[in-house]
Amino acid sequence: MAKAKARAGADGAAISTTYNEPQGSGGETHQTTNRPEETLTTQQGIPVADDQNTLRAGARGPALMEDFHFREKIFHFDHERIPERVVHARGYGAHGYFQVTDPLSDVTRADVFQRKGEKTPAFVRFSTVAGSKGSFDLARDVRGFAVKIYTQEGNWDLVGNNIPVFFIQDAIKFPDLIHAVKPEPDRGFPQAQSAHTNFWDFISLTPESMHMIMWVMSDRAIPRSLRFMEGFGVHTFRFLDKKDRSTFVKFHWKPKLGMQSVVWNEAVKINGADPDYHRRDLWDAVTTGNFPEWELGVQLFDQKFADKFDFDILDPTKLIPEEILPVRIVGRLVLDRMVDNFFAETEQVAFCTQNVPPGIDFSNDPLLQGRNFSYLDTQIKRLGGPNFTHIPINAPKCPFAHFQQDGHMAMRNPVGRVNYEPNSWGADGGPRENPQTGTRSFAETDMGQKVRARSETFADHYSQARQFFISQAPNEQKHLADALIFELSKVERPDIRARMVSHLLNIHDDLASAVADGLGLAMPKPAKAARPTLTTLPPSDALSILKNGPESFKGRKVGIFATDGADAALYSGLISALQKEGATFEVIAPRISGVTLSDGTKVEAQQKIDGGPSVLYDAVVLLMSEEGAETVKSHGPARDFVCDAYAHCKFIGFTPAAGILFDACALGDKIDGGFIPLKGKQDPGAFVGAARALRFWAREPLTKAKDDPQPGEGKQGKAKQGKRPPKSGSK
3-state SS of 251-315 is: EEEEECCCCCECCHHHHHHHHHHCCCHHHHHHHHHHHCCCCCEEEEEEEEECHHHHHHCCCCCCC
The answer to whether the peptide bond before residue 474 is cis (omega within 30 degrees of 0) is no
Q: Answer yes or no: 88 catalytic.
A: yes
CB 503 within 8 A of CB 210: yes
Task: Yes or no: say if 444 and 512 are a contact pair by the CB < 8 Å rule.
Answer: no
- Could you count the other beta carbons within 10 Å of the beta carbon of residue 538? 11
Pairing of β 619-623 and β 652-654:
parallel
For residue 615, give the 3-state DSSP assignment. helix
C-alpha closest to that of 725 among 324, 527, 457: 457
For 661, which DSSP code? H
The closest alpha carbon to 526, from 303, 299, 210, belongs to: 210
DSSP assignment string, 204-224 = HT-GGGHHHHHHHTSGGGSBS
If DSSP codes are grouped into helix, strand and coil, which group holds residue 20?
strand
Q: Which residues pair with 156 in a beta bridge?
A: 149
Instruction: For residue 332, give the 3-state DSSP assignment.
Output: strand
Tell me which amino acid residue 513 is: S
CB proximity list for 725: less than 8 A, separation 6 or greater: none
Residue 197: count of CB within 10 angstroms of its CB:
16
SS3 at position 329: strand
**Which positions ≥6 away from 669 have C-beta within 8 Å?**
none
DSSP per-residue codes, 408-437: TT------SS--SSS-S-GGGG-----TTT
Distances (CA, A) of 569 to 497, 566, 574, 706: 57, 9, 9, 49
Segments in 108-196 forming alpha helices (H): 174-181
| 3 state DSSP class of 547 | helix
d(CA 430, CA 249): 36
Identity of the amino acid at 51: D
Q: Residue 688: what are its φ and ψ, rounded to 5°? A: -65, -40
How far, in Å, CA of 405 to CA of 407, rounded?
7
Query: Are residues 75 and 177 in contact, defined by beta-carbon separation less than 8 angstroms?
Result: no
Contacts 24+ apart (CB under 8 A), 28-33: 28/1, 28/2, 29/2, 30/2, 30/3, 31/2, 31/3, 31/4, 32/5, 33/4, 33/5, 33/6, 33/7
76 part of the active site: no
**R_g of the chain, CA atoms, integer Å:** 28
Count of helices and strands (H, E) across the chain: 17, 24
What are the two backbone dihedrals, phi and then psi, of residue 297, each rounded to the nearest 5 degrees?
-120, 155
Three-class SS state of 179: helix
Cis bond before residue 726 (omega within 30° of 0): no
Under 8 Å between Cβ of 39 and 47: yes
Distance CA 456, CA 459 (A): 5
Residues 508, 719 contacting (CB under 8 angstroms): yes
Give the residues across from 652 on adjacent strands. 620, 675
Amino acid letter at 441?
S
Catalytic residue among 53, 155, 161, 394: 161
Positions marked active-site: 88, 161
